[in-house]
Amino acid sequence: MEQHEGRASSRADDGWWSSRLHELWRVSDRVQDVAELADSLYGMLLRMPGVLAVVGARWSGGLLHYLRSVTLSEPTPSFMEVEQEFGAAAAEDPDGDPPVTVHEVSELDGAMPHVQLLVAAGARIVAECAVPLAQGGWVSFMVATAERAAVDVTLRSRLKQVAEVTMVSDRRLMARREDELRQVSDAFLAEASLQMDSSLDVERTVRRVARTAVPAVAEGCVVHLCLPGGLTPVASSHMDAGEQQWLGAVAAEDLWLTHVLEQVLSRGQGRVLHGDELEGGPFGAASSGAGRAVRALSVNPLRARGRALGTLTFLYHRVVIAESASRFLADLAGRAALAIDTSTLYEQRRQHVVSLQRHLLPSELPRISGLTLSSAYEVGDASLDVGGDFYDAVSGAQDGVTLLIGDVCGRGAEAAALTGLARHTLRTLLEDGGPPEHALGRLNQALLREGTSRFVTALVAVLVRDGKGFLLRYWSAGHPAPLVRRADGAVEELTAHGDLLGVLEDIEYGSGSAHMAPGDALVLFTDGVTEARAADGTFFESCLRDTVAQQGAGAAEGFAERLAATAAGFRATGADDIAVLVAQAEVVA
Amino acid sequence: MSGSARDPRIDHDVVWVVEDSAEDAEAIQRALGRTHPGLTLEFTDRGAGVAERLLEAARRPGLVLLDLKLPGLSGAEVLRSIRSMPELNDVTVVAFTSSTAPDEVDATYAAGADSYIYKPVNFELFTTVLKGAVDYWQRRAKGGDEGPAAQPPSS
């Protein structure tokens, strides 16, 4: 019976239906979102004989996201956002082929919003067809009629046909969207890494992460770091400048959020929260204020080298995006954590280098009557390795001073250890009043005993009172020859060769002596000075004498600093550190 | 924007783009043409006079995409001049730049930008970012932030 009536009533519009269906297939190929099919799809079903209303419901588990509906009295499609949890029993997850089921409206739960729409349209019988969606959840199409007879084979098969178009279109869209998301994710990761690497300051790095991600990933982003006072927000950004402040306050004060973050941190696993999982917090449809637009939240732990550094949180105004991106979020969190960790390590290391370097050089030079001492140290490259240059000044028993300068080849931890050994060995022996050859010999033995492959150059200069000036005697172990700047500006080189330390058992020193009159200056330096190289390839050595002549014309205090600064300014290449030590005999009035 | 009385001269389907780079302007055209074919885009390559023209326009754009690195009058100056005119309160200004430097972000917010958007190099990502910004402000303009409520037909 039913079947025959159905055929008879619909035969006339078979042609109309198939042309509309064909059109729907064609459109489905172009749409960006399966929801764009809604208008034609709902209109087609509404034109079927006996149909009072068409209602669509978008579900994820027991969570009803929204409803779409058309009725005979209101044929323009209307949209109603719900975002309410009705429990898993409220709706059944479809699988495989979309089946069509038929219900009496009176048997359905009248409290459900879609049932209310059906009742309002005067429906008694409803034919339902649910389509699983590739991004999770499903959409259920309900066709409402006044009587069971209207739900004939034609209506059922047509309902099934539009459901199939929706399903196929959705799968195609999802595949395309996943492909796009992958492309966009890869591009984002690459650009975010670039932004992160452009700063070694932790706070700036973190702020860049938060900035790059909005709105590429989500509408809002917050980064918390584990600081001594606990989990602390260090950066937040929101699509809307007007909501930055709100987000900052939530990030700093909200207890619900703090709890979620701590949980994620202790489990070490990212989480996406939506629907009723947002309950009790400042987000979601049930909340008030700016958080109301937030549909989903993702939280990922920031971990690098086994340490928990903090959390990366995103706020989404659309739920779909958060669901499909967990791998990408974990990836992003991993890269952000590495960038933060690198910045933190860099800062720690810089502190260590600064303090180590401080220990390798004298904190201050002694005051020697009749002499003005000055010294300078310029770090050669920014790689954070401790350099191997050292110098010191030991006041003599009588009037006078013993100066020492040296250079351990190479940089880094081993060079730093040898630099400490060299400076302290020489200093201790010279303080005890031992002869310089002896001190250098002991250092040579100590270096050989260490079995190091590094060699050391060093020079010891002893200045003792001699009339109005000083008598200078010096011993060099392979160190660059010192200069004496005479009071009149003439510059002389003191010949000094000698063997390197740490290579041979028996060494010979290059030694000599000179007289220093009042106003004369002894200039000791390391090879970083002579080997500083300008962009055109010339070495500073070629203009060292002139520079010493010029810079020595100024005040005795600061002579070494001026010379070192000139060499450093000259340098375009050459990563060696520069050390300069100057003793200038005072002019007695 | 959140102005209580909305400006009747504003058309939320019109977007002005202030961008001096021809390549970037072309990319914006291509990206928004794909994601929002219904938008009317108007391009200008310099900042001078933008605020005044906004004031005089019969159809004011709901959104201005403003490149911060402009020759002559800088993006920040254009922003300040727009924000100095209370009649333009309902025009949303999205600052668009290739820098994520925190100081620049802070300065741009201080000058009155509604959004600060980082301009990515990759075109797909660029499209995603632009779409995110336009979608967000269009939803806002249509009252989408006011929580669950019946809405006019969407798409």
Residues of chain A with CATH 3.30.450.40: 2-174, 198-352
Helical (H) or strand (E) element with B89: none
Do A211 and B152 lie within an 8 Å CB cutoff?
Answer: no
Three-state secondary-structure class, residue A21: helix
Residue with tokens 């409220």: A90
Residues A137-159 as b/e (b if ≥16 CB within 10 A, e otherwise) read bbbbbbbbbeeeebbbebbbebb
Residue A88 has pLDDT above 90, yes or no: no
- Three-state DSSP at A126 gives strand
The predicted structure's pLDDT at residue A89: 67
Average of pLDDT values for A32-57? 87
Q: How confident is the model at residue A549 (pLDDT cuts 50, 70, 90)?
A: very high
Q: What are the two backbone dihedrals, phi and then psi, of residue A507, each rounded to the nearest 5 degrees? A: -120, 155
Contact A239 B133 (CB under 8 A): yes
> What pLDDT was estimated at residue A102?
92
- Residue with the bigger pLDDT between A335 and A568: it is A568
pLDDT tens per residue across span A319-378 = 655 455 677 777 778 877 887 787 777 777 777 776 777 677 888 899 998 999 999 988
Lowest average pLDDT, out of A40-54, A164-178, A231-245, A344-358, goes to A344-358
pLDDT for residue B2: 42
- Looking at chain A, the whole-number percentage of residues with pLDDT higher than 70 is 91
Question: pLDDT tier at A6 (50, 70, 90 boundaries)?
Answer: very low
What's the rounded Cα separation, in Å, for the pair A272 and A264? Answer: 10
Does residue A34 or residue A300 have the better pLDDT?
A300
CATH number for the region A2-174 comes to: 3.30.450.40
Write out the H or E segment, with its range, that includes residue A415. helix A413-431
- Confidence check: pLDDT of A103 > 50: yes
User: Which residue of chain B is at minimal alpha-carbon distance from A288?
Assistant: B147
Q: What is the mean pLDDT of residues A401-423?
A: 86
Instruction: State the pLDDT at residue B119.
Output: 84
pLDDT for residue A403 is more than 90: yes
Judge: A241–B109 Cβ closer than 8 Å, yes or no. Answer: yes
Which residues from chain B sit within 8 angstroms of residue A207, using beta carbons?
100, 102, 105
Determine which of A197-201, A455-459, B92-96 has the lowest per-residue pLDDT on average. A197-201
**How much is the average pLDDT of A35-61?**
88
Average pLDDT score over chain A: 85
Q: Does residue A96 carry a pLDDT above 80?
A: no
Q: Which CATH number fits domain A198-352: 3.30.450.40, 3.90.245.10, 1.20.1300.10, 3.40.1030.10?
A: 3.30.450.40
pLDDT of residue A184: 73
Tell me the DSSP string of A23-40.
HHHHHHTT-SSGGGGHHH
- Could you report the per-residue pLDDT of A416-455, keeping only the tens digit for each? 888 888 898 899 999 888 899 999 999 999 888 887 778 8
Categorize the per-residue pLDDT at B154 as very low, low, confident or very high, splitting at 50, 70 and 90.
Answer: very low
Alpha carbons A509 and A27: distance in angstroms, whole number: 92
- Whether A292 sits inside 8 A of B147 (CB atoms) is yes
- What pLDDT was estimated at residue A283? 92
User: Residue A469 has what pLDDT?
Assistant: 92
Lowest mean pLDDT among A120-124, A359-363, A477-481, B73-77: A359-363
DSSP state string for A211-271: HHTTTTT-SEEEEEEEETTEEEEEEEEESSGGGHHHHHHHHHH-HHHHHHHHHHHHHT--E
Asked whether the beta carbons of residue A195 and residue B100 sit closer than 8 angstroms, the reply is yes
Q: Which two tokens stand for residue A324?
A: 């499909």
How would residue A305 be classed by pLDDT, with cut points 50, 70 and 90? confident
* Residue contacts between A and B (CB atoms, under 8 Å): 109
Look up tokens 């004060």; give the residue. Answer: A253
Span A449-464, mean pLDDT? 89
pLDDT tens per residue across span A194-231? 666 666 667 777 887 788 888 888 899 999 988 888 89
Asked if B125 and A239 come within 8 Å (Cβ–Cβ), the reply is: no
Which residue in B63, B96, B131, B136 has the most chain A C-beta atoms within 10 A of its own C-beta, making it the best mutation to test that interface? B136
The string of pLDDT tens digits covering residues A552-567 is 999 999 999 999 999 9
* pLDDT confidence tier of residue A95, bands split at 50, 70 and 90: low
Stretch (H or E) spanning A282: none
Of A26-30, A289-293, A543-547, the poorest mean pLDDT is in A26-30
CATH number for the segment(s) B10-141: 3.40.50.2300
User: In Å, how far is A69's CA from the nearest CA of chain B?
Assistant: 10
Give backbone dihedrals phi and psi of B150, rounded to 5 degrees, phi first.
Answer: -65, 140
pLDDT surpassing 60 at residue B151: no
- pLDDT of amino acid A415: 81
Q: H-helix or E-strand containing B49?
A: none
Most confident of the ranges A182-191, A288-297, A577-586: A577-586
For residues A289 and B17, which has the higher predicted lDDT (pLDDT)? Answer: B17
For chain A, what percent of residues have pLDDT higher than 90? 37
| pLDDT at site A319 | 64
Residues B53-57, mean pLDDT to the nearest whole number:
92
pLDDT at A26 over 80: yes
- Considering only CB atoms, which residues of chain A are within 8 Å of chain B? 32-33, 35-36, 38-39, 76-83, 180, 183-184, 187-188, 190-191, 195, 203-204, 207-208, 211-212, 214-216, 219, 237, 239-242, 244, 285, 290, 292-293, 317
CB contact under 8 Å between A33 and B155, yes or no, is: yes
**What's the mean pLDDT in B108-135?**
88
Strand partners, A70: A54
Question: What is the predicted pLDDT for the residue at A246?
Answer: 93
Residue in chain A lying closest to B143 (CA): A293
User: Domain-by-domain residue ranges, chain B?
Assistant: 10-141
Q: How many residues does chain B have?
A: 155
- CATH classification of A361-585, choosing from 3.40.50.970, 3.30.9.100, 3.60.40.10, 3.20.20.70? 3.60.40.10
Strand order across the A491-493 sheet: A371-378, A578-585, A521-525, A483-485, A491-493
* H-helix segments, B3-122: 22-35, 50-56, 75-83, 102-110
Q: In this predicted complex, what is the ipTM?
A: 0.85
Chain B residues whose C-beta sits inside 8 Å of any chain A C-beta = 2, 35, 100-102, 105, 109, 113-118, 120-122, 124-125, 128-129, 132-133, 136, 139-140, 144-155
Interface test with B, best of A80, A214, A315 (most B CBs within 10 A): A214
pLDDT at A532 over 60: yes
Q: Which of B79, B66, B76, B81 is nearest to B17 (CA)?
A: B66
Of the partner residues A35, A216, A292, the one whose CB lies closest to the CB of residue B128: A216
